[in-house]
Amino acid sequence: MNKKKSVTFHKLSGNLKSQITIFIVLGIVILIIFGLMFFIKNSTSEIVLEKKINKIYGDFLSTTGVKEYISVCLDRVTKDAILLSSLQGGKIYDYQVSGGYSIGSAEDVLPFNYSGFIFNVSYGIEKPVPDGGEYLSPPFYPYSGRLLEDPFNEHITAGRYESVFGKKKLNMYNRYSSLTSLCNYYGSNYINISGAVRTCETISPINDSIQEYLTVFILNRTRECINFEQFTSGTRHNITEGNISASVLIGDNNIFVTMDYPVVITLKEKPPSVRFLDYTSELNIRLKRVHELAIHLIGSGATENKYQADANNIFFNLTRDDPHDCDINSINQPCIFPGMSVSRVRDPCLSNSLCDDLDWHHSHSDIINITDTSSRIDGVPLTFLFAVENRAPALNNTRDLNGRYFLNGRIEVTAGDNIEIFALDPDEDDLSYSINDANFIDIGGGVFTSGAVSDYLNLIINITDNEGLYDYQQVDIIVN
């Protein structure tokens, strides 16, 4: 009897387990059905919402003309950015646009009237500081010995580099180039490939570059020229602009700008939805080529084997000569391309009320103008300006006509011999000579012959430019 009851109990227990399993399966099926229904409902709602937003967005574009308006605005501000930067030595200042360069003092720039507008032109070449390490004061300025077109290499050959120049690269007439770099270190032209050649010759690690100033100008001025509210007034839905982003890519012969302009659409009790207006603006402007020309004309951007340009070679004429070193694989690659020209505006601050805040020295700074007729903005050739701080002239070692040089020493000559005084100015300024307070004007290209020597002479030879910057020598001449 007990055994039968036990069997019956086990049978009932098995049936109960089967029923529980069925209920669990049914519960899972019901949950899946409800989940699917919820998912389908939400998906359907999202599709409906997406279609509604797309309809609102399409109607907004077609009825307001905002897309065309932004495109015109981008083209205009891109041109303005390039013009402004080029006329100011690559810089755009913080008083012109938020995020621009902050001028430290009045002497950092040179005010210049160009086509009736005033621009603050930044410096590309600064004068050397006397006794500032590698530079010497008169009478040894700019370095010990006679004037050489390539003193670095000649003294290396002579084995005198360490004792004469110290351990730094020699820049005779320039502290360092102060010309604004072309690109940012991690800007749009950056190539994140090991061993890849950068596409910009000069790069700034601190965002002080033409690329940076173009970008901040385009972003800020695009926001200013578009009053987004004028396109959304009267609309039944909440439409706003998002955070605009822009990128400036500088090519050899063009400038390519891309901009993402987000439009944010918000419906009641729904999360905002974003649509992007993508814009591009491309100008066939050889800003990169023009900037490379400026860097090579200045010269301090060249490698140690290239000392041919204005900051390093007193014989180099910035407006006349081409350094021919604009290809790392060739020393004969021209820097001045067809359509480019270089000219100088002398002393634009003299007798100019714009420069009242500048000291006398900066009133003798010059403006270098690089014009490219093959790069035009609204029909006007691209003009790139940079300032050159006035630098002192240099007096060569005085010599007799037999070629014997003497500096701050004695030399014996024969009665009737002539001595030659030769000086150069790095800015090609007119020079005035004086010998023992007797003044002479150089009108013949830098050579003055003193005349017959007939007695013992103690000469102090002085050379000055229009500002009064000078170099001098003291020479004792003994007549046989």
pLDDT of 167 > 60? The answer is no
- Cα–Cα distance for residue pair 438/104, rounded to 1 Å: 42
**CATH code assigned at 430:** 2.60.40
- Cα–Cα distance for residue pair 90/73, rounded to 1 Å: 22
Instruction: Judge whether 133 lies within some domain.
Output: no
Instruction: Judge whether 385 lies within some domain.
Output: no
pLDDT of 134 > 60? The answer is no
Bond into 323 cis (ω within 30):
no
User: pLDDT confidence of 479, banded at 50, 70, 90?
Assistant: confident
The whole-number pLDDT of residue 148 equals: 75
Instruction: Judge whether 413 lies within some domain.
Output: yes
CB 329 within 8 A of CB 338: no
Domain end call among 34, 64, 94: 64
Domain end call among 20, 42, 64: 64
3-class secondary structure per residue, 125-189: ECCCCCCCCCCCCCCCCCCCCCCCCCHHHHHHHCCCHHHHHCCCCCCCCCCCCCCCECEECCCCC
What does the pLDDT average to over 420-440?
82
Instruction: Judge whether 88 lies within some domain.
Output: no
Q: Give the torsion sign (CA, 332, 179, 372, 341).
A: negative
CB 96 within 8 A of CB 84: yes
331 vs 168: which has the higher pLDDT = 331
- Cα–Cα distance for residue pair 129/122, rounded to 1 Å: 19
Helices then strands (H, E): number in the chain?
7, 21
- Cα–Cα distance for residue pair 286/270, rounded to 1 Å: 49
- Cα–Cα distance for residue pair 202/187, rounded to 1 Å: 12
Instruction: Judge whether 113 lies within some domain.
Output: no
Instruction: Judge whether 41 lies within some domain.
Output: yes
- Cα–Cα distance for residue pair 432/354, rounded to 1 Å: 28
How many folded domains does the chain comprise?
A: 2
* One-letter amino acid for residue 206 of the chain: I
What is the phi/psi pair of residue 354, to 5°?
Answer: -65, -25
Domain end call among 64, 91, 107: 64
Average pLDDT of the chain, as a whole number: 79
174 vs 21: which has the higher pLDDT = 21
- Determine which of 191-195, 263-267, 362-366, 367-371 has the lowest per-residue pLDDT on average: 191-195
- Cα–Cα distance for residue pair 71/218, rounded to 1 Å: 12
The whole-number pLDDT of residue 299 equals: 82
pLDDT of 250 > 80? The answer is yes
The whole-number pLDDT of residue 266 equals: 82
Instruction: Judge whether 164 lies within some domain.
Output: no
Instruction: Judge whether 50 lies within some domain.
Output: yes
User: pLDDT confidence of 273, banded at 50, 70, 90?
Assistant: confident
382 vs 271: which has the higher pLDDT = 382
pTM of the model: 0.80
Supply the range of the domain harboring residue 411. 394-479
